[in-house]
Structure 1
Amino acid sequence: MSSDPWGRVDETGTVYVRTADGEQVVGSWQAGSPEEALAYFERKYEGLVVEIGLLEKRVKTTDLSSKDARTAIDHLREQVDAHHAVGDLDALRARLDKLVELVEARREERKAQRARQSDEARHAKEALVAEAEELARSDQWRAAGERLRALVDTWKGLPRLDRKSDDELWHRFSHARSAFSKRRKQHFAQLDAQREEARRTKERLVAEAESLSGSTDWGPTAARYRDLMTEWKAAGRAQREHEDDLWNRFRGAQDVFFAARSSVFAERDAEQAENLKLKEELAGEAEKLLPITDLKASRAAFRAINERWEAIGHVPRDARPKVEGRMHAVERALQEAEEAEWRRTNPEARARAAGLTGQLQAAVDKLKGQIEQARAQGNTAKAEKLERELAGRQALLDQALKGLQEFGG
């Protein structure tokens, strides 16, 4: 009989293995010595050790499915439970039990991971749907269209959810894209209609502009061209293939008219420049009447100058305010001199001015007395209020006194 720590062979050639539940028959060996029998079944045990080790490695380092792992574990457990090997079979069972625990843990981990991935995919798709629904209301047709196409590519790269949830989200996503496409199609259809209407309007404007290009009614025609330009801008753009041609015809018609007008106006400008020179000389002659010392003689001289002035034609528009302003200044000086003369010779007006001055002087004196009284009583607020009123009355008095002086009073 031969034995080792985990098994033995009896005299009949029966091989046993020792387990925690006692000895178990491994098999019968008749082909050789007991040592050879033990060595054979020990090699079978080592084979199981190797298989279990390889399975442990696969479970830990590969993506072996839980189902395949359990099938492999059950297969090895059957071999261990069959007791056809000599060795620490209980240790192998313990390793298989731990491997089952590891597979279960990995299964739960993968399940949790799939749940996380599904949750992340759900949130990602919900975000895509929300953005698509927001873009569906956009009027930025190019940018929104490109972004929606990018969202489709992103959607395709995300994992599927459960069928019901995935279909619901895809329905919303697809509906948003369809709504945007429908609005964009309507917009461009409307735009095409507007451009066609703009083309018809501009063709009408071009026809009128061309009919006016030979007009010599400069003012009304120029005004009508300005109106036509306003109508042109309000009409909007026609189709690209028509817009440039219509514009070139429209501008060409205007250019013909305004070139002709410019030629005529150039001659008129030369004449007006000469008129300006003559009027500047007359303005200088009028300015020599200042200051007014002899009202009657100055009035007669200015009248004669003004008659010559009126006989001269138009001057350039931009120069007119300055040269006319010089004449008006002399005219105002004459008017002021006439008014001053009238006031000096009008006793009624002098009496009224003297009466007003006396009333204002009395009011000023009264206010000064009230201020002194308020100060004496310590009523600062009242005194300050009265002083503000005094300042206003004093200003009126000063003006009245100045007016009275003009009467020589």
Structure 2
Amino acid sequence: MTTSQQPDAPKPAAPKPGSVTPAQVTPVAPVAPAPAYTSDLEEAKQFAEVSDDGVVTLLDGGEPIEVGQLPEASKDEALAYYVRKYDDVMTQLQLLKQRLETDVANQELEKTLAQIDETIAQRQMVGDMTKLRDQAKTLRNALVERQARQQAEREKAVAEHQAAREKIVEQAEEVSAQDPAKTQWKHSTQKMRELFDEWQTAQKSGPRLPRATEDALWKRFRTARNTFEKNRRAFFSELDARNAEAKKAKEALISRAEALQHSTEWGPTTLKYRDLMDEWKKSPRASRKDDDALWARFRGAQDVFFKARDAANAEVDREYEANLAVKEQILKDAEQQLPFKNVDTARSVMKDIRARWDEAGRVPRKDMSRMEDGIGKLEKALTDLEDEHWSRTNPETKARTDSALSQLEDAIQQLEADLAAAEQQGNEQKIAAAKEALDARRQWLQVIQAAGE
């Protein structure tokens, strides 16, 4: 039998136009054509009987089944015809076995195998029918295993896809559950957009979930997004209200600052600006953009005043430059008197310096501290000298000093007598001890006498 004479394998139904999109088309691995199965004619004779008039009978397990008649053909030709029918079915089984390893749909394979089973059941062929049925049964079992395996893979894919979708939902719920006061809205908003994109991608590309599961997950995801958006709108609405209140408060401070900017009452106005600055620091902040603009206006009003004050002070300072030169000369003259040694002389010098200092008048503001430090150094020198003089002339201190002097003088007289006696005795040890004690007492005496002068 030629290839054209072999029974045609069932063809899959052609898809309707537009029913398949490019995204749904999966490339199918080409299937190599199965080699045609060929039975040995001599071996096939054990499964058939051929009569002289061309009637062919199949022997299936000892059961005779008439399959057809070819009266004009020889016995071998008649047998060969029905053996080829057997080979065609076996070839179809081999081809089906190969297709099990491809991605052909199970439904199509099931349909093909059912047609083959029907052909086998009709037994209109000659060959080892037991072997043929065993081959069909083996393929049937393989197809069942394939269906079970694919079902398990589908269930696994669905479970993994469901877990991925649940993770997206959980992340969205985590973002929406944040404290609005602590939420980083720019980052969180971007995160929500990314999660929504992930949801859409998973929904389009992943396996379909059960309708109830899909609806439940979408409900949770939608609720999380709505909650987040509600919190975001509420937060920024409240923020706008706070910004408006802050702007109002700072506008009032700016108005007060601008009202003072042309004042020439330098001292009082400076204090008022200081108070305004304290109020500004305590006032609530507006948005960054608004706060910067408000601060520029507030600072501008202060600058007008302080520039005018600095200009006025500079003019006054120029008038005091001559006074500065006089006071610097006074300090130079006075420093030549240091260190003070006599209290009366020092007091006289400082009295003259103070008179000249007051007469010289004010100095520029930038030099005031330096001048005050210079005169302060002279005043301290006088104070230290007076304290030292008092400690020496204090009656109580003098009485204690006189008592100490008297005791030392008596001790010296006694030691001198002891020394004389030791020298008369020629006792070198006592002489050395007396001299050592006498030298120490005389040194103490000199110290006390110098302190009392």
TM range (shorter): 0.7 to 0.9
Cα distance, 1:406–1:154 mapped onto 2, change above 3 Å: farther
The aligned counterpart of 1:192 is 240
The aligned counterpart of 1:51 is 92
The aligned counterpart of 2:285 is 236
Note the residue ranges of structure 2 that are not aligned, 5 or more in a row.
Answer: 1-41, 405-444
Q: Which has the higher helix share?
A: 1
Cα distance, 1:6–1:274 mapped onto 2, change above 3 Å: farther
Superposed displacement of residue 260, structure 1: 1.8
- Residue deviations 1:368-387, cap 9 Å, x none? xxxxxxxxxxxxxxxxxxxx
Matched ranges for 1:76-87 at <5 A: 76-87=116-127
The aligned counterpart of 1:265 is 313
Query: Residues of 2 paired with 1:197 and 1:163: CA distance?
Result: 51
- Residue deviations 1:94-139, cap 9 Å, x none? 2222212221222222222122222222322232222212211341
Cα distance, 1:352–1:199 mapped onto 2, change above 3 Å: same
Query: Residues of 2 paired with 1:31 and 1:222: CA distance?
Result: 135
Larger deviation, residues 157-166 vs 108-117:
157-166
Q: Specify the SS of the correspondent of 1:15.
A: strand
Q: Which has the larger radius of gyration?
A: 2
Q: Specify the SS of the correspondent of 1:4.
A: helix
Superposed displacement of residue 274, structure 1: 3.9
Query: Residues of 2 paired with 1:101 and 1:230: CA distance?
Result: 90
Superposed displacement of residue 182, structure 1: 0.9
Larger deviation, residues 332-341 vs 157-166:
157-166
2:115 to 66, 75, 80: 75
Cα distance, 1:321–1:256 mapped onto 2, change above 3 Å: closer
Is structure 2 residue 141 aligned with structure 1 residue 101? yes
Superposed displacement of residue 247, structure 1: 5.1
Query: Residues of 1 paired with 2:299 and 2:210: CA distance?
Result: 66
Query: Residues of 1 paired with 2:301 and 2:78: CA distance?
Result: 119
Query: Residues of 2 paired with 1:186 and 1:344: CA distance?
Result: 83
The aligned counterpart of 2:230 is 182
For the Cα contact (< 8 Å) 1:286–1:327, is it kept in 2?
A: no
Is structure 2 residue 179 aligned with structure 1 residue 135? no
Superposed displacement of residue 174, structure 1: 2.0
Is structure 2 residue 156 aligned with structure 1 residue 116? yes
Query: Residues of 1 paired with 2:130 and 2:251: CA distance?
Result: 101
For the Cα contact (< 8 Å) 1:14–1:25, is it kept in 2?
A: yes
Cα distance, 1:22–1:229 mapped onto 2, change above 3 Å: farther
Code of the aligned partner of 1:143? H
Q: Specify the SS of the correspondent of 1:17.
A: strand
Cα distance, 1:225–1:112 mapped onto 2, change above 3 Å: same
Q: Specify the SS of the correspondent of 1:85.
A: coil
Q: Specify the SS of the correspondent of 2:95.
A: helix
How many residue pairs align between the two structures?
Answer: 362
Superposed displacement of residue 12, structure 1: 4.2
2:196 to 152, 160, 167: 152
Superposed displacement of residue 188, structure 1: 0.8
Query: Residues of 1 paired with 2:394 and 2:168: CA distance?
Result: 94
CA RMSD of aligned residues (A): 3.2
1:27 to 58, 64, 68: 68
Query: Residues of 1 paired with 2:285 and 2:231: CA distance?
Result: 21
For the Cα contact (< 8 Å) 2:273–2:302, is it kept in 1?
A: yes
Query: Residues of 1 paired with 2:308 and 2:222: CA distance?
Result: 63
Query: Residues of 1 paired with 2:246 and 2:190: CA distance?
Result: 29
For the Cα contact (< 8 Å) 2:261–2:301, is it kept in 1?
A: yes
Q: Specify the SS of the correspondent of 2:209.
A: coil
Q: Specify the SS of the correspondent of 2:68.
A: strand
Cα distance, 1:346–1:227 mapped onto 2, change above 3 Å: closer
Cα distance, 1:81–1:39 mapped onto 2, change above 3 Å: same
The aligned counterpart of 1:208 is 256
Larger deviation, residues 188-197 vs 314-323:
314-323
Superposed displacement of residue 145, structure 1: 1.1
Query: Residues of 2 paired with 1:405 and 1:237: CA distance?
Result: 78
Superposed displacement of residue 28, structure 1: 3.2
Code of the aligned partner of 1:79? T
For the Cα contact (< 8 Å) 1:340–1:406, is it kept in 2?
A: no
Note the residue ranges of structure 1 that are not aligned, 5 or more in a row.
Answer: 357-400
Query: Residues of 2 paired with 1:44 and 1:225: CA distance?
Result: 113
1:126 to 155, 166, 178: 166
Superposed displacement of residue 299, structure 1: 0.7
Cα distance, 1:6–1:231 mapped onto 2, change above 3 Å: farther
Code of the aligned partner of 1:61? T
Code of the aligned partner of 2:452? G
For the Cα contact (< 8 Å) 1:25–1:83, is it kept in 2?
A: no
Query: Residues of 1 paired with 2:70 and 2:328: CA distance?
Result: 146
Q: Specify the SS of the correspondent of 2:125.
A: coil
The aligned counterpart of 1:374 is none
Superposed displacement of residue 215, structure 1: 0.9
For the Cα contact (< 8 Å) 1:41–1:85, is it kept in 2?
A: yes
For the Cα contact (< 8 Å) 2:317–2:365, is it kept in 1?
A: no
Cα distance, 1:291–1:230 mapped onto 2, change above 3 Å: closer
Cα distance, 1:271–1:26 mapped onto 2, change above 3 Å: farther
Is structure 2 residue 86 aligned with structure 1 residue 38? no
- Residue deviations 1:159-218, cap 9 Å, x none? 443333333333222222111111100011011112222332233233222222211112
Query: Residues of 1 paired with 2:357 and 2:272: CA distance?
Result: 34
Code of the aligned partner of 2:285? G
Code of the aligned partner of 1:338? E
Q: Specify the SS of the correspondent of 1:157.
A: helix
The aligned counterpart of 1:375 is none
Query: Residues of 1 paired with 2:388 and 2:450: CA distance?
Result: 7
Query: Residues of 1 paired with 2:401 and 2:74: CA distance?
Result: 160
Provide TM-score, normalisation by structure 2. 0.71
Q: Specify the SS of the correspondent of 1:25.
A: strand
For the Cα contact (< 8 Å) 2:401–2:452, is it kept in 1?
A: no
Superposed displacement of residue 79, structure 1: 0.7
